Amino acid sequence: MPNNEVMQQRCSLCKRVITIRDQYDMPIYDPQSGFALCKNCIREINHFLDEHESEETVEKKKDFALTLDDTLTKNKPHIIKEYLDEYIIKQEHAKKILSVAVYNHYKRMKYGYLNHEDGTEIEKSNVIMLGPSGCGKTALLSHLSTLLDIPFAVTDSSSLTEAGFVGADVEVAVRNLYYAADKDIEKAEHGIIYLDEFDKIARKSGENNSITADPGHEGVQQALLKMLEGSVVEFTARGQRKHPEAPTIKVDTKNILFIVGGAFVGIEKVIAKRLQDSGSAIGFGASIESKDDKPKFDDLIRKVRPEDLMKYGIIPEIIGRLPVICTLETLDEDALLRILTEPKNAPVKQYEKLLAMDHVTLIFEEGALRAVAQKAIERKTGARSLKGIIEDTMLDVMFDIPRSDEPRKVIITADCIRNGEVPKIEKL
Ligand SMILES: Nc1ncnc2c1ncn2[C@@H]1O[C@H](COP(=O)(O)OP(=O)(O)OP(=O)(O)O)[C@@H](O)[C@H]1O
Ligand SMILES: [Mg+2]
């Protein structure tokens, strides 16, 4: 309707005739059908909906809080840790921190669903994990995700770019969570987001790097900061191109728990420098250059402080939003040995099962296992290369064994691993 035209219109609901001076007098008016609703009626409707909905949602929330009791009982920290113990060797501290973080997340959720008069707020404790390559960061989180009853999504931060750059916008992390929640917005709003490879978005001009070009990393951090602080993130459905008219999905990140992790290669030098500058009697000096000095590397990394992360190139506001710092340890030969055989999905167990299907018993000599672990240490990729090293040796065995159905045994010796000697296959 033209702005300054005064006209009269009957409300389709209360039938009163309203003099319309501006749109506010008759907020809903369709000139074609003549359907109109006056502001009083709209207010009534809103009021009704508010009252009705709030009763309904209060009940719903109470029901949900009750189901959370069950979840809380099933997800006590020691139970979560026991589950992680089945797959992850060592990293006791990280397992404890994650178990407590998840349990507290559930508790905080329950608290939020119950009405609290005293106004106490439980703030979330986002976690940052640091540890060398192949020590189990990604593995820990992926096992955790299979255990949890709440949506959990892992997003690789290295694929994120500032809006306008080629790559994925940060909203992708929330979109992944939304799909992990089976497109249930309310569930997604209480989920957990793990941002892997978080060090890859460090500002390149941080002290770890002399290159000044920065393909939008600071912009990514700024965008992530908004998410961490709690904001309504808007994104389009998967497969839908982003254009102004595309329908969007909105998810509030206020209650989402964020866990970020990365290797932060070179941060030990930043830490050592700080300790030296502050005159701390740590006496590392040149020895930190030696990568083989594992215990020293672990000693340093354990002393990481927020300011080291800032020097590394993470903006202070983000660090402020990640109050729990968790460091993982370098895996030594004994730990790698255990990883080969102990976890539920241990490489040796997997090969044993594979060969058993061909009636073959697989025997890894102790020396062979140790040789695998030593080779992995030489490669400096933690536990990551273990499977590949065994695979190299096992390929011929797995190729030749199915030639016959006879029960046999295969013995893998240290020489098979070290010098590529062909494994012995014997009749049983
Ligand atoms: N502590 C561990 N216990 C059992 N298995 C482990 C452990 N650490 C690593 N692994 C195994 O090694 C593989 C590689 O580890 P993972 O991907 O978790 O390394 P990461 O710490 O994320 O390294 P990066 O920083 O390079 O990403 C995993 O798939 C897992 O099978
Ligand atoms: Mg990883």
Instruction: Give yes or no: residues 262 and 127 share one domain.
Output: yes
> Average pLDDT in the 115-121 region?
72
Nearest residue (CA) to ligand 1, atom 20: 134
d(CA 68, CA 188): 15
Q: What pLDDT shows up at residue 166?
A: 58
Instruction: Give yes or no: residues 290 and 341 share one domain.
Output: no
Ligand nearest to the CA of 196: 2
Instruction: Give yes or no: residues 221 and 191 share one domain.
Output: yes
Q: Ligand 2: distance of its center to the CA of 137 in Å? A: 6
| pLDDT at residue 50 tops 90 | no
Q: What pLDDT shows up at residue 283?
A: 47
CA 25 distance to own-chain centroid: 50
Instruction: Give yes or no: residues 170 and 119 share one domain.
Output: yes
Residue 256's alpha-carbon distances to 19, 178, 300, 320, in angstroms, are 48, 11, 31, 16
**Alpha helix locations (H) across 366-420?**
366-379, 386-400, 414-419
* Whether the Cβ atoms of residue 363 and residue 412 lie closer than 8 Å to each other: yes
- Dihedral over Cα of 179, 184, 185, 190: its sign: negative
DSSP, residue by residue, 32-49: TTTEEE-HHHHHHHHHHH
Cα Rg, the chain, nearest whole Å: 29
Q: What pLDDT shows up at residue 295?
A: 54
119 pLDDT band (50/70/90 cuts)? confident
List the single range of 68-72, 137-141, 259-263 with lowest mean pLDDT.
Answer: 68-72
Between 417 and 111, name the one with better pLDDT. 417
281, 298, 327 — which closes off a domain? 327
DSSP, residue by residue, 60-113: HHHHHHHHHHHHHHHT-HHHHHHHHHTT--S-HHHHHHHHHHHHHHHHHHHHHH
Nearest residue (CA) to ligand 1, atom 24: 133
Contacts of residue 320, defined as CB under 8 A and 6 or more positions apart, other chains included, come to 306
203 pLDDT band (50/70/90 cuts)? confident
41, 67, 93 — which closes off a domain? 67
Give the atom of ligand 1 at the shortest distance from the alpha carbon of 140: 18
Give the atom of ligand 1 at the shortest distance from the alpha carbon of 331: 1
Q: Ligand 2: distance of its center to the CA of 383 in Å? A: 11
Ligand nearest to the CA of 139: 1
Best probe residue, ligand 1, of 130, 138, 198 (max atoms within 8 Å of C-beta): 138
Element (H, E) at 249: strand 248-252
List the single range of 82-91, 288-297, 326-335 with lowest mean pLDDT.
Answer: 288-297
pTM of the predicted model as reported, rounded to 2 decimal places:
0.79
For residue 44, the enclosing domain spans 1-67
SS3 155: strand
DSSP, residue by residue, 321-364: T--EEEE-PPP-HHHHHHHHHSSTT-HHHHHHHHHHTTTEEEEE
Give the atom of ligand 1 at the shortest distance from the alpha carbon of 90: 1
Q: Ligand 1: distance of its center to the CA of 100 in Å? A: 21
286 pLDDT band (50/70/90 cuts)? very low
List the single range of 103-107, 242-246, 292-296, 329-333 with lowest mean pLDDT.
Answer: 292-296
282, 310, 327 — which closes off a domain? 327
Q: What pLDDT shows up at residue 287?
A: 46
Best probe residue, ligand 1, of 384, 389, 390, 391 (max atoms within 8 Å of C-beta): 384
d(CA 141, CA 128): 12
d(CA 176, CA 339): 30
- The per-residue pLDDT for range 229-285, each reduced to its tens digit, is 999 999 888 877 666 667 789 999 999 999 999 999 999 999 999 998 887 655 444
Q: What pLDDT shows up at residue 280?
A: 66
Instruction: Give yes or no: residues 230 and 289 share one domain.
Output: yes
* Whether the Cβ atoms of residue 243 and residue 219 lie closer than 8 Å to each other: no
Which of 370, 296, 282 is closest to 333 using CA atoms? 370
Best probe residue, ligand 1, of 135, 340, 372, 377 (max atoms within 8 Å of C-beta): 135
Q: What pLDDT shows up at residue 288?
A: 47
**Residues forming beta bridges with residue 261, ordered by sequence position:** 129
Count of C-beta atoms within a 10 Å radius of residue 322? 21
The domain that holds 57 is classified in CATH as: 3.40.1800
Instruction: Count, in order, helices (H) and strands (E) of the chain.
Output: 16, 14
Q: What pLDDT shows up at residue 110?
A: 82
Instruction: Give yes or no: residues 90 and 21 share one domain.
Output: no
Token representation of residue 215: 């393909």
Instruction: Give yes or no: residues 82 and 230 share one domain.
Output: yes
Instruction: Give yes or no: residues 229 and 89 share one domain.
Output: yes
Instruction: Give yes or no: residues 30 and 88 share one domain.
Output: no
Instruction: Give yes or no: residues 42 and 96 share one domain.
Output: no
Token look-up 């949890």 returns 148
% of the chain beyond a pLDDT of 90:
55
Instruction: Give yes or no: residues 376 and 300 share one domain.
Output: no
> Average pLDDT in the 332-356 region?
95
* Whether the Cβ atoms of residue 155 and residue 256 lie closer than 8 Å to each other: no
- The per-residue pLDDT for range 36-48, each reduced to its tens digit, is 998 889 888 888 8
Instruction: Give yes or no: residues 48 and 156 share one domain.
Output: no
Q: Which residues line ligand 1 (CB under 6 A)?
A: 88-91, 131, 133-139, 263, 331, 339, 343, 382-384
* Whether the Cβ atoms of residue 192 and residue 150 lie closer than 8 Å to each other: yes
**Type of residue numbered 325:** I
Give the atom of ligand 1 at the shortest distance from the alpha carbon of 347: 31
Residue 406's alpha-carbon distances to 349, 401, 427, in angstroms, are 21, 9, 8
DSSP state of 286: G
Domain count, the chain: 3
Give the atom of ligand 1 at the shortest distance from the alpha carbon of 386: 12
> Average pLDDT in the 94-113 region?
90
Give the atom of ligand 1 at the shortest distance from the alpha carbon of 343: 4
The domain that holds 230 is classified in CATH as: 3.40.50.300
